[in-house]
Structures are given as structure tokens and as C-alpha cells.
Chains A and B, each alone.
Chain A
Amino acid sequence: MVVKESEDISRKVVVIMLIVAILTSLLGTWTVISAINSITVVDNDKEQVTGLVGVAIAPDPNNPYHKQYFEQEEEDN
């Protein structure tokens, strides 16, 4: 379409341009939202394992704090 400098652009062209602008804006918004959704967020994984520490204390007649256990045994006998 050739437009002379002295002539104004027709209303039809303006409407078409406006529609193109709206479509471009919508398409751009959709593209950006799609791009954001496709980004994989790397989560810091975590794992826990459990161990066990165990110990058993045997009664010892040489231990002054264990005397009661042996006195009880003697009484029982």
C-alpha cells in the first residue's frame, strides 16, 4: 500500500495494527509463561540414614556401685 505523505492512513489499517498489537502482546505473555513453567527447579534433595550405638554394662563385684546386685543375689541364695 502506498501512502502519500499528505494522505492519512485509513482507519482500516489502524484497526488491523491494533489487532496485531493485541495478538502480539498475548502471544508474548503466553510464551513467557510457558518458558517459566518449563524451567525445572532444582531442589536440594535430602536423605537421612540412621545408625545405632549400643553398649551393655555388666554387674561387677569390684564396682562399689554394683554391690547391691551381689548382696541381693547372696540374700536370694
Chain B
Amino acid sequence: MNDVSNRTLVLLTALAIAFSLFGVITILSRLGQPIPLITGLGATEIGNVSVTVATVLSIDATNNVSFGNGSNVGGVTLTTNGSVTNPSTFDEPGSFRIENDGNVDVNVSINSTRATLFITTGTSPLYNWSGTNATGDNGCTGVNNLTTANTVFGVGAQNTTVCDNLTYRDATDSVNVSIWVFIPEDTAPGQYAANVFFMAATV
């Protein structure tokens, strides 16, 4: 077998260089990165001004929900929904209002404890939530999925979606979450409280 000539070696080397360059250019193109080609200085210089707006994810729960105190004779249902008046001497607190005060749309989910860990005495208490429109400032409209069904806390998935896509623009950046509590008649007098966690994640 004859030795490979220098001419063949040079050709193969040139091919290797070409393949190497082709590979680099292809990978950079796929990554969307600029290809660092050496260019001559153009006759016109163009200055670039770039402004980077950082994405900020931020939500705010504007109020806690305190129903005050009252009697639970006959078992009572309390709500922040405003559709019915709370019985006895219980207060009429507003619903939780979640405002997207960042600059990106977010998915909002909710989590809290189950009813028996909130109303710790009595037979079969209930503790539910439902998503409602934030009148005048509603950011969960149209195709955005707002969970309006009365949903039990602490059952099934840990975090349940309130709104798939809460927008951030000032006039349309809020959603309400109503709370529903049933306190049975045999619940003992005392104070009851539960934390409610609202989670936001960029869409």
C-alpha cells in the first residue's frame, strides 16, 4: 500500500478545518448567538442603545380576613363573598385581593389547611374558597382560567390554581379570593385562625 501523499493530507486537513468552522457556525446559529466574524470598519458607525427591563414578580395580598366574633347557634356559614349577610354579630370582611404589582403575568395558586385543622372543634366544619372578579381592576379575564367553583381547602393537590394568568397592567392586575366557613353548632367558644398561602409563578 502506498503512503498517503502530502497533497492528500493537506486536503484532508482543509476539510477538517472546514467541518470545524461549519460546526461552530451551526451551533452558534442554533443557540441564537451572534457569529463572531471579523469584519472591516464600515463607513458609517452605528451606535446601539439597549435598555433591559428586568422582570419582577410580585404579588400582594391586601387584607386579612377577620370575621370578628358572634354566636354559632344552629351552625353558621360565614363568607366574604358579599352575596349573603353574615349572621349574628359577625363582621363582613372583604375577600382577599391579590394584586400583581410586578411586570410579568403570573399564575396564582392557593393553599391552606383543611377545615378540621382550622375549626378544631365541632362536627364537620367547612372551609372553602372561590375565585371572583376584582371589579374595576380585574386581571383574570377572557381566556384566563379563573377558578370560580367553591373549592375545599386541604384536599387533593397542595396548591390549587386560582388564576392561570393574572396580568400585571395597572388597570387589570387583581383577582379576589372569597372565603367560606361553616361553623357547626357544637364548636366550642374560642378563637380560630388559619394561614392562607398565595403562590405566584411567572407564566
| A interface, CB within 8 angstroms of B | 3, 8-11, 13-14, 17-18, 20-21, 24-25, 28, 31-32, 35-36, 38-39, 44-60, 62-66, 69
List, in ascending order, chain A residues with CB within 8 A of B23's CB.
28
Closest to B14 in A: A17
| B interface, CB within 8 angstroms of A | 5-7, 9-10, 13-14, 16-17, 20-21, 23-24, 27-28, 31, 33, 36, 55, 57-61, 63-73, 78, 89-90, 96, 98, 104, 112, 118-119, 127, 179, 181, 183, 185-202
Query: Contacts A48-B199, A51-B196, A62-B73; is A35 near B27 (CB within 8 Å)?
Result: yes
List, in ascending order, chain A residues with CB within 8 A of B183's CB.
55, 57
List, in ascending order, chain B residues with CB within 8 A of A63's CB.
71-73, 185
List, in ascending order, chain B residues with CB within 8 A of A45's CB.
55, 57, 104, 201-202
Supply 15 further A-B pairs (C-beta < 8 A) apart from A51-B196, A53-B193, A63-B71: A9-B6, A10-B6, A14-B10, A14-B13, A17-B13, A17-B14, A39-B31, A45-B201, A50-B198, A52-B65, A53-B67, A55-B66, A57-B187, A57-B192, A62-B73
Listed from nearest, the 10 A-B pairs whose CB atoms lie closest are A56-B69, A28-B24, A60-B71, A17-B13, A45-B57, A55-B67, A35-B33, A9-B6, A54-B193, A59-B189
List, in ascending order, chain A residues with CB within 8 A of B196's CB.
50-53
Can you give 15 contacting A-B residue pairs, CB < 8 Å?
Answer: A10-B6, A18-B13, A21-B13, A21-B16, A28-B21, A32-B28, A35-B31, A46-B200, A47-B58, A50-B197, A51-B65, A53-B64, A54-B65, A56-B67, A56-B192
Distance of A47 Cα from B13 Cα, bound (Å):
55
A62 → chain B closest CB, angstroms: 5
Of B64, B73, B127, which contacts A60 at CB under 8 A? B73
B201 engages A53 (CB within 8 Å): no
B186 → chain A closest CB, angstroms: 4
Distance of A14 Cα from B98 Cα, bound (Å):
71
B93 → chain A closest CB, angstroms: 9
B178 → chain A closest CB, angstroms: 11
